[in-house]
A and B are shown apart, each in its own frame.
Chain A
Amino acid sequence: MRAILCTMALAVALATGAEAQQASRTQPVEGMRDNGTGYHALVGARVVTGPGQVLNDATIVIRDGLIQSVGRGTDAPAGARVWDLDGLTVYPGFIDAHADLEMDAVPEGGDVGPTHWNPQVRAWFSTTANLQDDEDRRAALRSQGFGTALVVPKEGLFRGTASVVNLGDEGVRDRVLRPDVAQAIGFQRSFELGGSYPNSAMGTIALMKQTLMDAEWYMRAWDAYEASGRAFLPPETSEALAALGDVVQGNQPVIFETGGEEEYLRAHRLATEFGLTPWFRGNGQEYRLIDLLSGRSDPLIVPLDFPDAPDVGYPGAALNASLADLRHWYLAPASPGQLADAGVRFAITTDGLSSLNEFLPNLRIAVARGLDVDDALAALTTTPASWLGIDRTHGTIAEGKVANLIVSEGDLFTEEAEVRDVWVRGTVYGITRPAQFDPRGSWEIASEDEWGFDALLVLEGPLNRLRGHLDIASTGPELPGGARVELASARAVAETGRIDARFNGEVLGYQGMALLSGSVRGDEFYGWTSLPNGADPSFRGTRTEGFEGPARGTVAMDVPEIDLPFIRPMMDYGRSSMPEQPAAVVVRNATVWTQGPQGLLEGADLLVRAGVVEAVGMDLDAPGGAVEIDATGKHVTPGLIDPHIHSGVSAVNESGFAIVPEVRMGDVVTHNNIWMYRQVAGGLTTAHIKHGSANPIGGENVFVKMRWGSLPEDLKLENAPRTVKFALGENPKRRQGRYPDTRMGTQEIIRDHFMAARDYEREWQQWEESGEGLPPRRDLRMEAILDILGQELLISSHGYRADEFLALVRLAEEFGFRVQTLQHGVEAYKIAPELAASGVAAVVWSDWGAFKMEAYDATLYNARILIEAGVVTSLHSDNSEIASRMNWEAGKLLRTGLTPQQALSTVTIGSAQAMAIDDRVGSLEAGKDGDFVIWSGDPLSQFTRAEQTWIDGRRYFSLEEDAVMRDRIAEERTQLIQAILSAEGSGGGRNAQTESN
């Protein structure tokens, strides 16, 4: 059905000229018919038929909307209307592969019909079915050279289907080229659509996954219903799920709109996981992923909304500019060129520009910053044409193709060229008119009126940026003379042969601006002025000298070449390469806190091979070529572990529902996270990034290693246990209008969901046994809860008070499983014996408390009491900054009477045991990961600092490397701030500037 529709739409388009043929017109004509010949010859232009293909002095013949011929020579066929394009350039009409025609506004009162329970799922929305008369938008796109566009819906998460349309002024039935070719997905929900869930990045991805799974189920469910002979009640009707059938079968592409490099990575993962056919609307950060993108061929559509320069206008502002912002300003305009150089095929879109008028200027900036002109043209013609399936009819100037053309005065890509006309399907749309006169040159002008004066008027520069001056020769009786004044402004009015200018009247002895206008006829000038004293003397003059120079400005790079090496993350302290993993590393003669059975060893060696601890002991034999580190006087500990941080993810809380175990922090890890560098500098090597505390059952957490410089997927701790956030007490009951409002309700809603999961499990079992009835759907939330009940997804519960913890521990026991850890646990000490008996680990603070009611009974002795009672105990930070100094948090416990090794265990082995990752990390034992820290002294002393941090046998931090990076950052910041100041000084600041020569 879809295929037939496409062909029909195309057939109509192919047969259409300015108006439809009489025999194929469905709509009756009212009044008189309008039948131009539709037969045109464009003669004498320089024709760029496609990327890298130029015909000089060529003629293009158009008949009934199609290009009948194109070739060298200037012979126009008899009968064709001749368009003399001598001196002009013709390009194929541009194609915008991701246009926003602002046509999918949310109706008042919301969408109606059996759509989807979640208002953000609008997959059913068709841009073809909803095509509107969006005349202004189309005219604006045409003015930038576009004749064709993929119109993409923008509202919601699943946004509906995009269609390829003409940008001519035909009625809606003649505009659709290819209806509904791709489903649009975005990561930013529309506030107007309403709904409370999802309200986070990870909730968004969870909803996307569930919806795609539901779409697959929906097909099966209806099939099963029909196959049964309608033996039971049918499944629900959902326009949205029905619309996604082609998507989940891989038959219809999905266009992901991505807001940054992380969203690109997330979209790509989602597409891979679900076997989708992805296209990506990029985001201007492609230069950060060049290495990755160069190996990928999915359609990529990039915007040209380059960033404004950071404010560096005064010292205080410059002090606040980060290297990340400065680099982005400098590198974003170079991104398209970098993509092309890396061999990545991409299209360019106007989407994202605050004004469509920025498109051509920004395109020229991209070219000035390294984008090859042919690559630029391909990104606007042949490349999108092939992706959109219109390459047989669009994208180049060739016989038989649809007559979509740009007629330009000048080179569109390298000069401030003006688009004269745009042809769409053989209809011409005038955009600008050419200058019908050239006023440039030197004019002797004189006046005989009172207040008049004699002067030489000089007009020069490109026509679109006219400038000039007046040399006042003599003046009226009371005025000084013999001075020069620059024209404050000057412009030529193309259509009327007039120039308008103004200049400062001071040169004539007035306070205020003087206005000067003049009509030019050949070399004659008839002028009049308006002077600040109210006089308006008239002038006559003649041109004594012409002006030789280009008619329009060229575009040149206006920023200095700055050598900015590729770094990841693309920010302050980003790495230019990953640290190497030596075959072996041996740390000699240190005080080694193994935190394992070997205890603390003085004057000992640590041997790490291929990233794994091999031995700790005295005078170890190291293999030849091992990296030797003399750590005399130093202390070595396992890498520190923090079981509770929130940095390193794009969002923390999905609070749309009270129960959200289906959301995963692992979906939203970000590597653009300066905290990670600070944390690794403080000896942290492993962390557990947690969902927030807005929900009794929150999302799934993620373990990361502090592999600063990696992409998100490479940060994750491999084969780590799965854990889920629970939250008790004040936070989950604080959200207004959402159950629960009390600790009682918190307990009950958790219990209710445990029981719901058991029901879900039973229904699945019954269906699998009988095969009868409606097939059950896979529910990510229920499956997560089943994993909780099965101890596959370990509970790590936020809470403060003893009562709420005890209630959760008992609830779990009622359902036959164990809570893994309590976190924060300000009152954990009050139930230490109960926790020990139930095998629940405690993750607590050192001395944090009293910041809210439920934290008032905090005590520094919390960890001490827990350890005395036999509870596995760890410290945590719950804070990006504190996570960078966990050794000092542990040190505070010395004052409670814990031994030094006990104190250190709360940030090493105790933490690993609490989180069930002690098979990998937490102590320096043979077979464990080579994660260690070299300290200047006793790691529990306030006077000690970390000197080196190693992860997997790679050195991710050292004081020496840090010093080198600081110097490099300082140098780059200085260069970039200077570049901004010089660009702003010359009126730029946008990375490229027009030369008015």
Chain B
Amino acid sequence: MATRARAAGMACAALAVLWAIAPVEIGAQVRMTVPPQSQPVALTGATIHTVTSGVIENGTILLENGLITAIGTDVDIPAGARVVNAAGKHIYPGLIDAFSTVGIAEIGAVDVSNDVNELGDFNPNVRADVAVNAESRHIGTTRSAGVLTTLTTPGGGLVSGMSSAMALEGWSWEEMSMQSAAALNVNWPNPNPRRFRGFGGFRFGPQEEQPSYEEQVQQLKDFFAEARAYRDAVAAGEEVRSDSRYLAMIPVIDGAIPVVVAADDAAQINDAITWAQEEGVRIVIRGGQDAIHVADRLVAEDIPVILTSTMAAPGRQYEGYDGAYSMPARLHEAGVRFAISGGSGSLYSNRLPFEAGVAVAFGLPEEEALKAVTINPAQFLGLDDRIGSLEPGKQATFLITTGTPLDMTSDIEQAYIQGRELDMNDIQKHFFEKYMEKVRQHMRRVIS
């Protein structure tokens, strides 16, 4: 086989080494989970994209016990550290998908493989992390694309439940979970059912009579009011019967957990903001197709937006073909704070980098696109003390690449999560190796 590969070099070489030891089918486990970092590691000579403190040329990044302990051009490398020459490479923070179902959805049309939508309209107590399958095939492919943290998010109902921040390395969900209750998810009702989009929103079968928009908004208000009364009763020392759902709401009402509200239409976004202000909760808009029509208010109220479909067709016929592509650039110009998420749901968190990259093609400065998939979602969801940029004290969760991870012209060569140097194999590379072997065997037969 003539390898014309530019990129395949790395993956193939790594595999060749592995297979020299075990040259047989490796079964379901195509990527190995590695142990926590035990030895300091220094990566030297790289272009380090810190996101928050600029770009460091020919820099060194030092990791110890899973954390970044030093970063710069003049770093003291402790004795006993493993030194990795990363000259010519780029180092970026691991990307964060603020809206994902990695780990809780496996095969789209196979219902039993999916654990996204719980029954009922109000499920604030459900948490995604406990259902994350650490062996999911999508974990490997998502990491290979540079996405190292997902906000794994339940759907359905008016209040879907809690997103969990998951580091995509570990033997079990418990080891992976960074923040079990990272955000409460609310699906804002749809005033205009004709135009509904997005996953997690189809709350009613087509046969069922749907309550009106106004009725649903009132249901939401009533639920929050009841939860607030429950909290107050508990605080006043009243003897109340336990209620899982209202108990889960207490940190939300206290402002400790942000509320991510799925809202696309201008009317939805406006109404959701009004509601959140009345409730006094921290709101993040998710979806935001019409966010540009509400930009002034989003800026004035300092409300961040998680865009879910930048790599998408416009929602309306008259809108420009690039309406979604150029949305981030227009929001940036208007001064709105935003993150970009995968939005395609479960199976395609690996496309997150391109969702951000397309915004660059249509006018968003590249560094802003990078922030939209690193520090911005980390800030919106209270994870910026740990991830989202390369700074001492943060987790050593980053990528070694040949260029920007937002463009397919560069390759993601290696990733670290919390200081663990990942096995970069995944199911897709596994099939590549296996069936390239078939091609090779066949060609040998033809030649001989």
A and B together in one complex: yes
Residues of chain A having any CB pair with chain B under 8 Å: 315-317, 319-320, 322-324, 571-573, 674-675, 677-678, 681-682, 829-830, 832-833, 847, 849-853, 855-861, 864-865, 868-869, 880-881, 884-885, 888, 891-892, 894-899, 902, 936, 938, 940-945, 962, 966, 969-970, 973
Of B175-183, B334-342, B406-414, the segment with at least 4 beta carbons within 8 Å of chain A is B406-414
- The answer to whether B357 has its CB under 8 Å from any CB of chain A is yes
B146: shortest Cβ distance to chain A, in Å? 11
- The answer to whether B242 has its CB under 8 Å from any CB of chain A is no
Bound complex: CA A566 to CA B7 (Å) = 52
Indicate if the CB atoms of B317 and A881 lie closer than 8 Å.
no
Chain B neighbourhood of A970, CB < 8 A: 318
Chain A neighbourhood of B6, CB < 8 A: 894, 897, 899
Indicate if the CB atoms of A674 and B317 lie closer than 8 Å.
yes
- The answer to whether B428 has its CB under 8 Å from any CB of chain A is yes
Indicate if the CB atoms of A572 and B318 lie closer than 8 Å.
yes
Indicate if the CB atoms of B407 and A941 lie closer than 8 Å.
yes
Partner of A571, one of B317, B358, B409, B432: B317
The chain B residue sitting closest to A973, CB to CB, is: B318
Partner of B431, one of A681, A829, A847, A850: A829
Partner of A847, one of B317, B350, B406, B435: B350
Q: Given A858-B428, A898-B4, are A942 and B108 also a contact pair (CB < 8 Å)? A: no
- The answer to whether B351 has its CB under 8 Å from any CB of chain A is yes
Bound complex: CA A894 to CA B107 (Å) = 26
Of B56-64, B187-195, B227-235, the segment with at least 4 beta carbons within 8 Å of chain A is B187-195
Residues of chain B having any CB pair with chain A under 8 Å: 1, 3-9, 12, 106-110, 137-138, 141, 191-192, 194-195, 265-267, 290, 293, 311-314, 316-318, 320-322, 325, 347-348, 350-351, 353-354, 357-358, 360-362, 366, 406-409, 411-412, 427-429, 431-432, 435-436, 438-439, 442-443
Chain B neighbourhood of A850, CB < 8 A: 106-108, 137-138, 347
Known: A319-B316, A888-B358. 9 other contacts (CB 8 A): A316-B192, A323-B317, A829-B431, A830-B435, A850-B137, A896-B8, A942-B360, A942-B407, A943-B361
Bound complex: CA A849 to CA B195 (Å) = 26
A569: shortest Cβ distance to chain B, in Å? 11
Indicate if the CB atoms of A865 and B439 lie closer than 8 Å.
yes
Partner of A324, one of B317, B360, B406: B317
The chain B residue sitting closest to A674, CB to CB, is: B317
Indicate if the CB atoms of A888 and B354 lie closer than 8 Å.
yes
Indicate if the CB atoms of A942 and B7 lie closer than 8 Å.
no
Closest 4 A-B residue pairs measured CB to CB?
A: A897-B8, A897-B5, A942-B357, A851-B108
Q: Given A833-B442, A865-B432, A897-B3, are A323 and B354 also a contact pair (CB < 8 Å)? A: no
Chain B neighbourhood of A941, CB < 8 A: 361, 407-409
Chain A neighbourhood of B354, CB < 8 A: 888, 892, 942
A-B contact count (CB 8 A): 171
Q: Given A850-B137, A853-B107, are A865 and B436 also a contact pair (CB < 8 Å)? A: yes
Chain A neighbourhood of B314, CB < 8 A: 678
Indicate if the CB atoms of A678 and B321 lie closer than 8 Å.
yes
Q: Given A571-B317, A678-B313, A853-B110, are A833 and B408 also a contact pair (CB < 8 Å)? A: no
Indicate if the CB atoms of B431 and A884 lie closer than 8 Å.
no
Indicate if the CB atoms of A851 and B109 lie closer than 8 Å.
yes
Chain B neighbourhood of A829, CB < 8 A: 431-432, 435
Chain A neighbourhood of B110, CB < 8 A: 852-853
Indicate if the CB atoms of B432 and A864 lie closer than 8 Å.
yes
Indicate if the CB atoms of A851 and B409 lie closer than 8 Å.
no
Bound complex: CA A675 to CA B314 (Å) = 10
Chain B neighbourhood of A938, CB < 8 A: 409
Bound complex: CA A833 to CA B362 (Å) = 41
Bound complex: CA A320 to CA B320 (Å) = 14
11 contacts between A and B (CB under 8 A): A315-B266, A320-B195, A320-B316, A851-B108, A851-B109, A880-B313, A894-B411, A895-B7, A897-B6, A936-B361, A969-B318
Chain A neighbourhood of B320, CB < 8 A: 962, 966
Indicate if the CB atoms of A888 and B318 lie closer than 8 Å.
no
B243: shortest Cβ distance to chain A, in Å? 36
Bound complex: CA A461 to CA B105 (Å) = 69
Indicate if the CB atoms of B406 and A942 lie closer than 8 Å.
yes
Partner of A897, one of B4, B312, B347: B4
Chain B neighbourhood of A323, CB < 8 A: 317-318
Indicate if the CB atoms of A894 and B318 lie closer than 8 Å.
no
Indicate if the CB atoms of A894 and B442 lie closer than 8 Å.
no
B196: shortest Cβ distance to chain A, in Å? 12
Bound complex: CA A442 to CA B368 (Å) = 75
Chain B neighbourhood of A833, CB < 8 A: 438-439, 442-443
Indicate if the CB atoms of A316 and B438 lie closer than 8 Å.
no
Bound complex: CA A682 to CA B362 (Å) = 13
Chain B neighbourhood of A898, CB < 8 A: 4-5
The chain B residue sitting closest to A942, CB to CB, is: B357
B33: shortest Cβ distance to chain A, in Å? 21
The chain B residue sitting closest to A802, CB to CB, is: B435
Partner of B107, one of A852, A892, A942: A852
Q: Given A856-B107, A864-B432, A899-B6, are A316 and B409 also a contact pair (CB < 8 Å)? A: no
Bound complex: CA A942 to CA B106 (Å) = 27
Bound complex: CA A966 to CA B326 (Å) = 15
Indicate if the CB atoms of B347 and A832 lie closer than 8 Å.
no
A137: shortest Cβ distance to chain B, in Å? 35
The chain A residue sitting closest to B353, CB to CB, is: A942
The chain B residue sitting closest to A325, CB to CB, is: B317
Partner of B266, one of A316, A572, A864, A962: A316
Bound complex: CA A892 to CA B428 (Å) = 14
Chain B neighbourhood of A675, CB < 8 A: 313
Indicate if the CB atoms of A320 and B192 lie closer than 8 Å.
yes
Chain A neighbourhood of B290, CB < 8 A: 319
Bound complex: CA A245 to CA B442 (Å) = 61
Most buried by A among B290, B314, B427: B427
Indicate if the CB atoms of A899 and B4 lie closer than 8 Å.
yes
Partner of B4, one of A573, A885, A902: A902
Chain A neighbourhood of B436, CB < 8 A: 865, 868
Indicate if the CB atoms of A677 and B321 lie closer than 8 Å.
yes
Indicate if the CB atoms of B431 and A891 lie closer than 8 Å.
no
Indicate if the CB atoms of A859 and B428 lie closer than 8 Å.
yes
Chain B neighbourhood of A885, CB < 8 A: 311
Indicate if the CB atoms of B351 and A847 lie closer than 8 Å.
yes
The chain A residue sitting closest to B290, CB to CB, is: A319
B397: shortest Cβ distance to chain A, in Å? 21
Partner of A832, one of B7, B311, B438: B438
B340: shortest Cβ distance to chain A, in Å? 13
B296: shortest Cβ distance to chain A, in Å? 14
Most buried by A among B106, B110, B432: B432
Chain B neighbourhood of A682, CB < 8 A: 321
B86: shortest Cβ distance to chain A, in Å? 19
Partner of B428, one of A317, A830, A860: A860
Indicate if the CB atoms of B429 and A861 lie closer than 8 Å.
yes
Indicate if the CB atoms of B407 and A943 lie closer than 8 Å.
yes
Bound complex: CA A715 to CA B441 (Å) = 46
Indicate if the CB atoms of B265 and A943 lie closer than 8 Å.
no
The chain A residue sitting closest to B351, CB to CB, is: A847
Chain B neighbourhood of A852, CB < 8 A: 107-110
Bound complex: CA A943 to CA B359 (Å) = 8
Chain B neighbourhood of A868, CB < 8 A: 1, 436, 439
Chain A neighbourhood of B361, CB < 8 A: 936, 941-945
Chain A neighbourhood of B443, CB < 8 A: 833
Chain B neighbourhood of A899, CB < 8 A: 4, 6
Q: Given A323-B317, A881-B312, A945-B362, are A851 and B107 also a contact pair (CB < 8 Å)? A: yes
Bound complex: CA A571 to CA B318 (Å) = 8
A559: shortest Cβ distance to chain B, in Å? 20
Bound complex: CA A538 to CA B109 (Å) = 77
Chain A neighbourhood of B267, CB < 8 A: 315-316
Chain A neighbourhood of B408, CB < 8 A: 888, 891-892, 894-895, 940-942
Bound complex: CA A853 to CA B109 (Å) = 7
